[in-house]
Amino acid sequence: MPKGIYLHKSGMKRTAETKRKMSLAALGKKKNYTIWNKGLKGWNSGEKNPNWKGGKARHSEGYVLILQKKHPFSNHQGYIPQHRLVMEKHIGRYLYKGEMVHHINGNKKDNRIENLELTTQSKHLKNHYKDRIINNKGQFV
């Protein structure tokens, strides 16, 4: 391409003079629109939202989630499973990475401390798979 010729994104060739004229023309133009959400950040979030459910939500696997934005293990939206919070309050500390909370009766909505058991990940898996039969290839049947 010859010197002083610019290729526009549309594929048109423009000279340096044309490019200069276009930028000068654009300088004098005012944008005649307003930003629709200026100053509205957070105006309808949290308790102000008509769909607010008291900071509780339901996980896709059935767990009850509680809004705790400052908790070190909360997800990107600020929620943490309720059974973990109940166990942490009972033992008086945060759970470690390898610790899991097991629902004894299998009901994920029943978060009473009597129904919760603190366990490790390996023991938790053994507990769930203890009744399964393994074939000669090492697969669950």
**CATH assignment of the domain containing 119:** 3.90.75.20
pLDDT computed for residue 109 by the predictor: 93
In a domain, 87, yes or no: yes
Cα–Cα distance for residue pair 141/128, rounded to 1 Å: 14
pLDDT: is 39 or 80 the higher one?
A: 80
Q: Which residue has the tokens 């973990």?
A: 84
Phi/psi class of residue 113: alpha, beta or left (left: φ > 0; alpha: ψ in -120 to 50)?
A: alpha
Residue 2: which pLDDT band, with cuts at 50, 70 and 90?
low
Q: Is residue 28 part of a domain?
A: no
98 within some domain: yes
Q: What is the total count of domains within the chain?
A: 1
Res. 1 pLDDT band, cuts 50 70 90: low
pLDDT single digits (tens) 18-62: 888 887 777 766 666 666 667 667 777 778 888 888 889 999 999
Do the domain assignments include residue 38?
Answer: no
Q: Which of 64, 67, 91 is nearest to 78 (CA)?
A: 67
In a domain, 112, yes or no: yes
DSSP state of 62: S
Residue 141 has pLDDT above 80, yes or no: no
pTM beyond 0.75: the answer is no
Per the structure, the complete domain to which residue 72 belongs is given by 53-129
CA–CA distance, 73 with 84 (Å, rounded to integer): 10
Name which of 17-21, 81-85, 86-90 the model is least confident about. 17-21
Contact call for residues 141 and 135 (beta carbons, < 8 A): yes
